Structure 1
Amino acid sequence: MGSKPVHLKVFVDKKKKKVMFAEAEQDFVEILFSFLTLPLGTIARLSSKHEATKDIKVGSLNSLYESVKNLDNKHFSNEHCKIALVNPNSSSLSLCEMLKVNLNNMKSVDASVSTVSHSNLVFFKKNASFIVTDDLNVIPVKLDTSITLLNFLGVEYIDLLEERTIDFGLEEFSSLLKWSLVTNTPLTNLVLGETNPRSWSCSCSSCIKTSTTSNLPLISSFSTQRQTVKLLIQKSKKQVLCAQAGNIFVEMLFSFLTIPLGNVKRLTMDNSSTTGIDNMYNSIPSLGDGKYLKSDEVKSMLLCPKLASNYLRVTDLLPVYDKSISQGSFLKEQATYIVSDDLEVTFSPSISTISKFNTLGIPVGDVEVMEVSIGEQEALLILKASLASTSTLTDCLSSFKNAKSLI
């Protein structure tokens, strides 16, 4: 695990304290693209392992993942269900095993013993060099695009930038993955040791439009299934304290952990999405024109990765399953669960939950019970918010339709 076979050359503006861009070979970019094949459960597991970014939360994903780990085994249909959530399988595992650093199973493969032929190419058809911007736009090295990019960044003389070569192994790629989900300056945060997400006015996607996702088909199941959930809301702050929900809603939340990141982005990304992972996702279509990516199948695997074949259809609230997949469930018998604002799922009596609110100084008179109906649209809103917010239910509250107060 100590091998660090992948290198990245970064160019730093010391005055601005910012990585302006990086120069990468195809092996680095392939591992970068493999982020999209990772199930959200794998991302949650990786993001909690490394001290450098341990305090940075990937929305509510970490809380959801930890609650699954902590939930008593007796609530699951069998012992394999819980394992399939905390250690989710990837449909792209066999291909990603050929990468020099495979985040899917957390093993680092030395180039000398790799089973890949043709210079260890996995996603690409030939060796190539790329510019990777701080906000993770990936651009092939060409004279015209390089000059356009440098002019936009205000870089008149590359020699004035500090050049560093960074060795990337499992820990570095895991940290980059986490930063890419929470900021649009992931390279700066990683390379310069920033501990908090930064915002930066420059979005290189605005100066070099490498691709568009507007032509990607959004698959919808057109499911009519809906689930009623009761929300306990602190009226004075208009904040969701928790939800009281049954199996259908909780199965949907648990299924988040099995969905590959690329599929999540396909279903939820819009013009307001500005993190590094969004920019990287948008870089891929232009590389699939036959010049760089091996095939349309590889392009589809990155932009729309499928769930692993061992997962049955546990919810009809999300359009992520093939219609031919049999119905299944992670949970055993019907029960009532408490879901916190940051998606922590617990099996708890209602009285103990109310006592917890009192301990926090929230009087019963300040608590309103609201009933909301969750369908496919609402489920996708929750999925999107789960990667960006630690108050997922509150952030989605105004978008829930057919909400009615019960008090």
Structure 2
Amino acid sequence: MTKSVKFSLKLLVDEKRNKVVLAEADHDFVDVLISLLSLPMGKIARLLESHKDLQTVLACYQNLNRSVADMGNEHFGSEACKNMLLSPKSSYEIHCRKLKLNMGDTDATKFFICSSYLSDDSTCDNVYSNFNTSTCRCGGTMSTRMFTSDEDLIGEEIGNSVDGVFVNCRSSFIVTDDLKVSVNSIGVVMNFLNDLGYTDFSDLQETLLDIGFEEVVTLLGCFFTTETPLTCAFLMKPCMTRKLKMLSPHLQNSEIVEPSSVFSVKLFVTKFDNEILYAECNADFIDALLSFLIFPLELICSFSNNLGSVGNLSRSPCRKASASDFSQVPDYYGCSNNIMFGYLPSPSPVYECFVPHSSSDSWSCQLARQIQWSTELFIVGGDIVKMSPNNPKVISGSSSGGDTGFMKKNTKFIVSNDLSISPMNSFSTVGLLKKMQVNISDLEEHQIIISKADLISILRASLVSSSALTNGLSNLLVKKPKEET
């Protein structure tokens, strides 16, 4: 990624109030702005953690990232499971690589087949994997690289001379302080200023800024701390801590909570202030929590009433129809414990591949949506076969079982209030009790059932608080009556 890229942004500033009224930006900057909606939350947390002024933003997500990094491979369903969580992919990563500034900066998705696939005595299935650690049915490692074009990966052209990558025209744009985006026009500016009570420009000053990678990261961090991110990011105005709106995410009347949609969790709570210090749980609840890392910002926003400016950006009428919803995640990131959030993974396509009759070290396998016979292929001799996606979360290499979780089953975990996770077989419970530095008699044990609505409540709290369990589950804690003396 070229981090040296700069965009010119013209701000209209109310100097008396020290507030950005609006900004004029070209389509390249707005393309980058909209692309932020596609970033997985784990990636966003890493970007903010590397910024010295934003290290406390999304602290719970940073703890989830560190927990995954610190856990050994033996706790995951496969090595790929850990890699998927550490470097979550966006369904729009190929589009983002076409931007002038790619904030995702992830390695391009790679394709692999079994190292024995092209051998004359191969018993391999016609499957590919996006991870070179996947295991084929024959027992071999899927480590032979295959290649395909970006157009074949997504099946469409990305950007052109008429529009941008995500925006539907190559105009300049108006961006308000709360991230409402409109195509630039005299009428739009007049109406907006009139709505704010400005009759002229006497109190307004134009400021021209050069915006690059660091400034966009700062702006991204302000998404989670304020409803006026332009002012906070570009006028260096201190952002007030966002208040947590814990509105209960009631289930729809037609929605039934199935047994697979609930988790039994044991909480350890202080009697004095009902603070949840730790939770003991099974792998299925951890799968649900770690899924927060793979969810794109747009999907997270749909669950939270704390990110109004992100919602404004999401609803922008300037988005192309093909980029109107970034809430999908790549195939096999889904499992039964995160699909309950109501999204469907974006299915991996079936590709075609030409397989020569005789194995050859010089033959480079290509994947394509459709392969046309050519003179070269007739001379080489072989077959065009359909290649299906392999589930990287399954050790056996089976292409079934797409709802497989990330963590190994029958493993117990402990989760702290700020979403730090540890396997219970990797530490001393006595040492943990000493670390709490609380009187044991001041702790209560609560056995609770966590539903989809409660998970969403934890998710909401994790965006703006470092006490995600306490703020997310406080409604489930029944205060025990004091014993009479």
TM-score where L is the length of structure 2: 0.68
1:382 aligned residue (458, 473, 478): 458
1:189–1:197 contact (8 Å) kept in structure 2: no
2:163–2:169 contact (8 Å) kept in structure 1: no
Amino acid at match of 2:207: R
How far does residue 84 in structure 1 lie from its aligned partner after superposition? Answer: 1.0
- 2:402 matched residue in structure 1: 326
1:183–1:198 contact (8 Å) kept in structure 2: yes
For each residue in 1:91-117, what CA deviation from the matched residue of structure 2 results, as whole angstroms up to 9, or x when unmatched? 11111211111112269xxxxxxx853
Counterparts of 1:227 and 1:320, CA distance in 2: 19
- 2:367 matched residue in structure 1: none
Counterpart secondary structure, 1:158: coil
Amino acid at match of 2:234: V
- 1:194 matched residue in structure 2: 237
How far does residue 59 in structure 1 lie from its aligned partner after superposition? Answer: 5.2
Counterpart secondary structure, 2:218: helix
Counterparts of 2:39 and 2:253, CA distance in 1: 20
Counterpart secondary structure, 2:99: coil
How far does residue 186 in structure 1 lie from its aligned partner after superposition? Answer: 1.2
- 1:78 matched residue in structure 2: 78
Aligned-residue CA RMSD (Å): 3.0
Amino acid at match of 2:198: V
1:219–1:319 contact (8 Å) kept in structure 2: no
- 1:207 matched residue in structure 2: none
How far does residue 69 in structure 1 lie from its aligned partner after superposition? Answer: 1.9
For each residue in 1:331-364, what CA deviation from the matched residue of structure 2 results, as whole angstroms up to 9, or x when unmatched? 2352221111111112333322211122xxx211
How far does residue 394 in structure 1 lie from its aligned partner after superposition? Answer: 0.9
2:223–2:307 contact (8 Å) kept in structure 1: no
**Residues 219/170 of structure 1: CA separation in 2 closer, same or farther (3 Å cut):** farther
Amino acid at match of 2:328: K
1:90-239 correspondence runs (5 A): 90-105=90-105, 116-118=159-161, 121-158=164-201, 160-197=203-240, 223-225=258-260, 226-239=262-275
Counterparts of 1:26 and 1:329, CA distance in 2: 40
How far does residue 222 in structure 1 lie from its aligned partner after superposition? Answer: 5.5
Matched, 1:50 2:51: yes
1:314–1:330 contact (8 Å) kept in structure 2: no
TM-score where L is the length of structure 1: 0.80
- 2:432 matched residue in structure 1: 353
Counterpart secondary structure, 2:31: helix
- 1:33 matched residue in structure 2: 34
Counterparts of 1:397 and 1:11, CA distance in 2: 43
1:68–1:85 contact (8 Å) kept in structure 2: yes
- 1:309 matched residue in structure 2: 331
- 1:293 matched residue in structure 2: 319
1:185–1:199 contact (8 Å) kept in structure 2: no
1:240-259 correspondence runs (5 A): 240-259=276-295
How far does residue 133 in structure 1 lie from its aligned partner after superposition? Answer: 1.5
More helix by share: 1
- 1:277 matched residue in structure 2: 310
Counterparts of 2:334 and 2:242, CA distance in 1: 40
Unaligned runs of 5+ in 2: 108-157, 244-251, 348-399
Counterparts of 1:261 and 1:159, CA distance in 2: 38
Amino acid at match of 1:171: E
1:189–1:198 contact (8 Å) kept in structure 2: no
Amino acid at match of 1:307: V
How far does residue 251 in structure 1 lie from its aligned partner after superposition? Answer: 1.0
Higher alpha-carbon Rg: 2
**Residues 330/198 of structure 1: CA separation in 2 closer, same or farther (3 Å cut):** closer
How far does residue 253 in structure 1 lie from its aligned partner after superposition? Answer: 0.6
- 1:66 matched residue in structure 2: 66
How far does residue 73 in structure 1 lie from its aligned partner after superposition? Answer: 3.0
Counterparts of 2:295 and 2:105, CA distance in 1: 16
For each residue in 1:225-255, what CA deviation from the matched residue of structure 2 results, as whole angstroms up to 9, or x when unmatched? 2111111111111111111111111111111
Counterparts of 2:94 and 2:226, CA distance in 1: 30
- 2:363 matched residue in structure 1: none
Counterparts of 2:194 and 2:253, CA distance in 1: 35
**Residues 61/91 of structure 1: CA separation in 2 closer, same or farther (3 Å cut):** same
Amino acid at match of 1:14: E
2:47–2:217 contact (8 Å) kept in structure 1: yes
